[in-house]
Amino acid sequence: MSRVEVTYTVEQECKAVDLKTSKSILADCPMSKGEQFGPGGLVAAGLGSCMLISMSSFAKRHGIDVTGARADVGTVFGGAPEMRISAIDVTMHVPGTFTEEERAGLERAAGACPIKHSFRADTKVSTRFAYGDVAAVAA
């Protein structure tokens, strides 16, 4: 189990500390302060990191180099009656040239990220993959 302690520090700002590593990050309200990551940005960072780490595990097992891969993640807030993340758009940029089999494996691995499967069923998570100059779409 991952344990994080979050403390409200000053006006609309919190400090989160990973209790295992003692690493910390600040978060604030993007609407009023916007100096740190906002909570939605932290969710996006968690999802993108999880997808890249899942993909890199597959890559390592199969001798594929995905160094420099990145995830661009956008969140859309909406929903009724409560405000929530209603959609997430992820574009995975993977430098290099890969076979169709390698691409399929990388995309399956990224899609298997447990964070991606932690959202409500009605939260639309769309994922696109761009390899070098070639883009392929995966849902």
- Tens of pLDDT, residue by residue over 2-11, are 899 999 998 8
Quickly state the pLDDT bin for 135 (edges 50, 70, 90).
very low
- The 10s digit of each residue's pLDDT in 77-113 is 987 788 899 999 999 999 999 999 999 999 999 999 9
Q: Calculate the alpha carbon distances from 87 to 92, 100, 120 in Å.
A: 16, 28, 10
pLDDT on residue 139? 43
How many Å apart are CA 45 and CA 90, to the nearest integer?
A: 11
The dotted CATH code for 39-138 is 3.30.300.20
pLDDT on residue 138? 46
Per DSSP, helices labelled H in the chain are 39-61, 100-111
- Exposed / middle / buried, residue 45 (Cβ in 10 Å: 0-12, 13-18, 19+): middle
pLDDT on residue 133? 52
Of the candidates 116, 127, 132, 109, the one whose C-alpha atom is nearest the C-alpha of residue 59 is 109
Given a cut of 90, whether residue 30 has pLDDT beyond it is no
pLDDT on residue 45? 96
Of the candidates 47, 41, 40, 39, the one whose C-alpha atom is nearest the C-alpha of residue 113 is 47
Per cent of the chain over pLDDT 90 is: 81
Q: Where are the domains of the chain?
A: 1-37, 39-138
pLDDT on residue 110? 97
pLDDT on residue 47? 97
